[in-house]
Each structure stands twice: as C-alpha cells, then as structure tokens.
Structure 1
Amino acid sequence: MPAYRTIRVAPVVEPVAALADEEAWLARERYPVLMGFRPVFGAAREREEGGWQLLSSFGAPTPQSARDGLASHFRRRAREAQEAGRQESSAACQAAAERLDWEVLDELTVLEERYRVVRAENVIRAGRDGPEPPRPSDPDPAEPGAANRLSDRTEGFVLDTVIPTGPSEGILKAELLALAHREGDPPQVREDARKAAVSHPGGVLLPPVFLFAEKEGGAWRSETGDGGSPQEARDALTMLLRVLAPAMQGLDEATRTVYREAADRLDAERGNELSFGGRHLRLVRVERFVRIGPDGPEGPRLSDYDPDEPVMVQDMRLRAEGTSAEEDSEDEDPEFAARVEMLQRLTEEEMARRDRRDEG
C-alpha cells in the first residue's frame, strides 16, 4: 500500500503524550459526533527529504487570502536575498510575488522548490452538552493579553503520513477520512468531497486551534476567529468585548459596562465558559485535518468560497470603473469616522492596559 494511504500508529511512551492520547480516547466517548465546518487555507513548501512544510500564518479563510500570504512570503525572501547580495534569488522571489499579485495560482515552483496553497478541514467534536472545550493536556502557557507572543505552532509543521501517531490520533484520522461531507451541503460541495476522498485518501492532523462559540437556541455559532492556544482565543474575545463591539456596534454605556466586566472576569478566571447579558459562550477545541494524495497535500476545491480577485486584478478593475481601493474605502461619513476614532482610542487603551498588566 502506498505510504500516503497508511495511518502509522506507534506506542506512546512519553508521559505528556500518553496523557494526551488518553484524553483523546475519552473525548471520543463524551463527544462522539464529528462536525465539519468552513475550511481554512495556507501555504506549504515541498521538502527534498519528503513531506511538505507549512509556512507561517496557516488558517486563511479563503484560497486567495492564502495566495496573498504566499506573495508576502516571497517578498520577504526577496528582501532577505537582496540584503545578502544574492541578486538572482531576490529577482526570482520578487517575480513569484508579482505573479501572485496578478494570477490565481495554487502551485508554483521558485528556485527549484515547489510551493502549494493547502486546504485544511476544520472539525469539532460535540456531545449532549455541546462542543468539546480544550483538554487539560492542550498547551496554554500564556498569561492574559500575551498569547500573541507565543510562536505559531503550525509554522514549520511537516505534512507527512509516514510520521507515526498515537493510537487515539490514528483512530481520529480514520474517522476524519471517512467524513466526506456534511449533511445539507450543496451538490457541488458534496461532489468535490467525494472526489477528494478518492484523489487524496490519506491525511495528517495539524495542531488544534481554539475559538469561542455562542449558544443561540439549540445551536452554536462561532463568535471569534480561531487562535493557536486557549488563551489566544480568550484574548480575542476580551478584545471583542472591550474594543470591537463598543466601537463597531454602537453599544450604550450600560451594555459596555456589562461587556467590560465580562472581559475582566475572563482574564481573572481563564475559564472555558462565559455568561453575561443573557449570552452564553464556550471555548471550543477545533481539529484541523489536511488530506494527502500521491502528489502531496490537497489544494483548494472548485466549490470553496473564494470571492476575491488577485490584488492587482482588483485594483485594475476598480481603476477602470473610475475608483481605486483607497477611494472606495471610506466616503467621509461622519458616523463612520466617529466609529474609527473610537476604535483607535479603545485599541490604544486596551494595549496600554495589557502592557501595565505585564509590568505588574
């Protein structure tokens, strides 16, 4: 059997890894339902020794966002090569960035290395009481307000099916490989999922991410973007409560006070649940899974949401229509300007508050 179709399982000896494997097994019993939702995207480089290595900032919401991130990667490499006096390397990387500004490219070769936009499924476990929260073994070392200083756990992560996993993770891989599509998906989405199960029958689990979801009636919906650790998700929620919601939603002073007190409580308790103002939110653990085929990781599917054009194509279209991206961004709306001013002020206050906490 080809290596990309295998799930290699090895005994877990190291104590922390053994605990994580045991928790994963218990999660299957308490949260038996696997629910997939929106995919995310990033970029990877093929390794000469086998497998593909993820670049930084994996988790873009659309393929084009990942292409833009790859263009930024090549611009950074072009600058570094220029500073080191490697003119040919600098020119090659700059040319790759400019191609991505104009073309919809999900794969390209630069300096004899292959790069690809990679697709990952987001999946959560759920049980009778809702989605699975973080596990005790999930790393959560940062203090409140400082999670963004941690290194990105996906940067440099190697996608390679020959790397062995623990028994529970191996079972999860098998379950996710069988999870072809969600109930209620449109026909094109279901068809693409069926094709992917054939063309990319292997898989690799990425480090989990975390987000806050709000319970509304009998359903849960995401309230924050995902973070690489539980504390990063908490920091995102406190930023939402102290800064974004007051500025962009025009909250009255009484509601702002309720939100601010909820954020303070979350900082103090570092919990997984938060109730305030008739709302209830939970910190949710999200598994990420990349399908692997004979030629490496799966790229974007035709049915994936991808509304944006490459940046220069978009700019050229706007100029042809008599506008530009800068002119289109705001129209001297007094209400909009006031909200932007409040957003800037509250952001500065929150950053100063976090700095004082660090110093204290």
Structure 2
Amino acid sequence: MDDDWKRQIERLHEGLVRRDDPAEWVTEADAVQASYRYPHLMLRGPVFGLAVQDPGASADWRLVRSATSGTPQEARDGLNSLLWFQAKDDTDDPGVRRELLAAVAVLEREPVDELTVLGVRYRVVRGEEFARSGESGLEPPRPTDPEPADRSWEGRHDTPSPDLGFALVPGREDGLMAGAMRLALRGFAYTGARFPADVRKDSARARTSHPEVVLLPVGFGVVERSGPGWQPQGALMATPHEARRQLYSGLTEFWPLLHKFDDREREQYAQAGEEFKAAGRADEVRVADTLYRICRIERMIRCGPDGPEPPRPSDLDDYGPTKMHPRMDEDGTLHHGE
C-alpha cells in the first residue's frame, strides 16, 4: 500500500469516526462482511448514461439519464429526446426552440457524444457495471440496503432512479469501504485474450486520461443460472424489493407469455412465483433447473480533468443515429408523418 493510498484511507476513516453515526457503522460492518463473503468482482461490461454541466447551476457534472444503457447510441437517443421535449414543452421562445431543434438535427445525423446547447454541456458518459461474487455465487442484497416504503407486489411503484441528479465528483462516497473500493478501481483495466486488442488498449489509456473513479448508486437486478454462468434478466432497479417484484412478475406473467410455456410450465412458474412472494424478503427461487437470484449491482464512471469519460473508440453500437420524433417548427407546430 503506497503513501497516497494510506493517506486517503486515513482521511476516510477519520471522517467516519467524526460523524459518529451508529447506523453508518452498522452499514460499514455489513460492507466489511460482504467483502469477505464475496471477495471477487464479476465484470458485466460497459454501461452508458447522459451527464450535464450547467454553469448556471453548478460546476459539477450531473447525471440526467441513468447510466444503464447498453450502447452509446442508446444514450445519444436519450439526449435527442431530452432536447426535443425541451423544445416542445419547456419554452415559448422561437429562438430557444430553434437552437434546441438544431441540436436534435445533429443527433439525428451524427453519432456525437457531446453537445453544448444554450450554454449547457451535455455528454454521453461511459461506466462499468459489476457484481461481487463468492463461493455461493453473486452477492444478493445486504440487510442494510434500503427498501421502499411501499412494498406491494402488484402494479408499478418504482422508486425514481437515484442516478438522476447524481454528481460525478470523485471522493464523495459514503463510508470507508466504498472509499477503499474507489481507490482500488483506479487501476482497473481490461486484460486477457478474451478482450480484443483495441478494447484492452482503450482501457489501459483510460487509466491515464481519466484516472479518478466515481461509484454510482447501487442497483438491484434479477439474474438467472441454468448452466455454468449467471445471466441478467430485466432492468436495474433502485431497491431490492422492486427487483423482487420484477422477478415475481416475470415468473407469473411475462416469461410464460414470452417463452410460450405450456400449461405444465405455466403452473410450475406460477407456483414458484407465489412461494417466492409469500416468503416476503427472499432473494432467490428455483424453477426446475434454473436458479433465479436478486443480485446487488455496482457501477463506476471514470473522470478526468475535463469531467466524466465519454464512450471509447472500441465501444460498439447496434445501430446508428435516426430520426425519432416528428418535425417541429420554431413556433412549436408538429408535423406528423414527415
């Protein structure tokens, strides 16, 4: 452990002692236990989001779209929609609308990762998603992970994404273990022959160009294992219970329709779903040869002198820019079908 690492760990510890918050100490102890039970990091791959730097509000970069997209173009599409709806709903000034629509037109033609519009900088940002693992597999939720006030099982009662408005400022993590994780991840890079050479090269370069790390809010998702590895199922949720509700809905509603189950399979999945629901705070359920688990998901974004890291040259898209919304005049008139 070098001197810089030691000094930063000591500062984190001093801050934790100074706050003297019993609940925080319990959370910290929970994190320490998890580091022993799930000592390995399992990388899922890159995720992309959208950040904004508004000089009129703050010098910090903040997320305005959650960092959960699988490709850069998905995040660019999010920027396209954000600006289009600003032009449609947020202004009556033709000049303001004209500038917003000019930026939309650029996004319809070009795979740009940064735009300045009305003095505000928007950037597609790149992160990494990973989970911890141990002898029993991927890490489930921890006892100290917060649950929503409404823990119903039907309908949509999703907590707003904690990504929205999150400041991408290194060193603001809560707790000693989170700070230690951030410091450890500064040296992370893709290695091994399973990664293409250009991916490894870009990853190594990012350690220098964007040396700092920001840990994003923890999320929760459904994973399944029917063979040697785990596969994600569904979206990242803000709380463990919302991920449990997603799993319950999958077992009892969506997967039987999606996979065209026969009567026996539908009954099997429905029974498993009801047993999972009745258990209350269960984190896994088995159906035939498939194990489903609620998994704790962590993410990070690299930052450099000019802010968060954008997509890398080796990051791939499934499709390119496209027209997403009807044409709009500067007076706000929409032209459908054009």
Q: TM-score, normalised by structure 1?
A: 0.79
Q: 1:152 aligns with which of 161, 179, 191?
A: 161
Q: Which amino acid aligns with 1:309?
A: G
Aligned partner of 2:263 in structure 1 is 253
Q: 2:185 aligns with which of 165, 176, 180?
A: 176
1:213 equivalent to 2:223? Answer: yes
**How big is each residue's C-alpha offset from its partner over 1:17-37, in whole Å with a ceiling of 9 and x where there is no partner?**
332222222211111111211
Deviation for aligned residue 1:246: 1.9
1:61 equivalent to 2:70? Answer: yes
**How big is each residue's C-alpha offset from its partner over 1:261-302, in whole Å with a ceiling of 9 and x where there is no partner?**
222222222310111223211111111100011110011112
Query: Do the aligned partners of 1:81 and 1:89 also contact (CA within 8 Å) in 2?
Result: no
Query: Do the aligned partners of 2:216 and 2:301 also contact (CA within 8 Å) in 1?
Result: yes
1:101-250 mapped onto 2 (5 Å cutoff): 101-141=108-148, 142-143=150-151, 144-146=153-155, 148-163=157-172, 165-181=174-190, 183=192, 184-250=194-260
Secondary structure of 1:149's aligned partner: coil
Structure number having the greater helix percentage: 1
Tell me the distance in 1 between the aligned counterparts of 2:48 and 2:39.
26
Tell me the distance in 2 between the aligned counterparts of 1:268 and 1:87.
56
Tell me the distance in 1 between the aligned counterparts of 2:316 and 2:154.
32
**How big is each residue's C-alpha offset from its partner over 1:221-242, in whole Å with a ceiling of 9 and x where there is no partner?**
2233322221222222233223
Aligned partner of 2:327 in structure 1 is none
Tell me the distance in 1 between the aligned counterparts of 2:100 and 2:253.
38
Tell me the distance in 1 between the aligned counterparts of 2:24 and 2:166.
17
Q: In structure 1, list runs of 5 or more residues that go unmatched.
A: 1-5, 314-325, 327-360
- Judged with a 3 Å threshold, the aligned counterparts in structure 2 of structure 1 residues 282 and 149 are, in CA distance, closer, same or farther, namely closer
Deviation for aligned residue 1:176: 1.8
Q: Which amino acid aligns with 1:17?
A: E
1:1-360 mapped onto 2 (5 Å cutoff): 9=12, 10-11=15-16, 12-48=19-55, 49-82=58-91, 85-141=92-148, 142-143=150-151, 144-146=153-155, 148-163=157-172, 165-181=174-190, 183=192, 184-269=194-279, 270-312=281-323
**How big is each residue's C-alpha offset from its partner over 1:86-111, in whole Å with a ceiling of 9 and x where there is no partner?**
33222222222222122101000011
Tell me the distance in 2 between the aligned counterparts of 1:308 and 1:148.
32
Q: Which amino acid aligns with 1:124?
A: A
- Judged with a 3 Å threshold, the aligned counterparts in structure 2 of structure 1 residues 124 and 149 are, in CA distance, closer, same or farther, namely closer
Tell me the distance in 2 between the aligned counterparts of 1:91 and 1:18.
53
Per mean C-alpha deviation after superposition, the further-off stretch among 270-279 and 213-222 is 213-222
- Judged with a 3 Å threshold, the aligned counterparts in structure 2 of structure 1 residues 182 and 17 are, in CA distance, closer, same or farther, namely farther
Q: TM-score, normalised by structure 2?
A: 0.84
- Judged with a 3 Å threshold, the aligned counterparts in structure 2 of structure 1 residues 75 and 256 are, in CA distance, closer, same or farther, namely same
Tell me the distance in 1 between the aligned counterparts of 2:22 and 2:312.
39
Aligned length: 307
Q: Which amino acid aligns with 1:196?
A: A
Query: Do the aligned partners of 2:72 and 2:311 also contact (CA within 8 Å) in 1?
Result: yes
Query: Do the aligned partners of 1:147 and 1:231 also contact (CA within 8 Å) in 2?
Result: no
Secondary structure of 2:128's aligned partner: strand
Deviation for aligned residue 1:55: 0.5
Aligned partner of 2:3 in structure 1 is none
- Judged with a 3 Å threshold, the aligned counterparts in structure 2 of structure 1 residues 17 and 99 are, in CA distance, closer, same or farther, namely farther
Tell me the distance in 1 between the aligned counterparts of 2:99 and 2:20.
45
Q: In structure 2, list runs of 5 or more residues that go unmatched.
A: 1-7, 325-336
Deviation for aligned residue 1:307: 1.8
Per mean C-alpha deviation after superposition, the further-off stretch among 67-76 and 215-224 is 215-224
- Judged with a 3 Å threshold, the aligned counterparts in structure 2 of structure 1 residues 47 and 136 are, in CA distance, closer, same or farther, namely farther
- Judged with a 3 Å threshold, the aligned counterparts in structure 2 of structure 1 residues 96 and 286 are, in CA distance, closer, same or farther, namely same
Deviation for aligned residue 1:303: 1.7
Tell me the distance in 1 between the aligned counterparts of 2:201 and 2:93.
46
- Judged with a 3 Å threshold, the aligned counterparts in structure 2 of structure 1 residues 15 and 56 are, in CA distance, closer, same or farther, namely farther
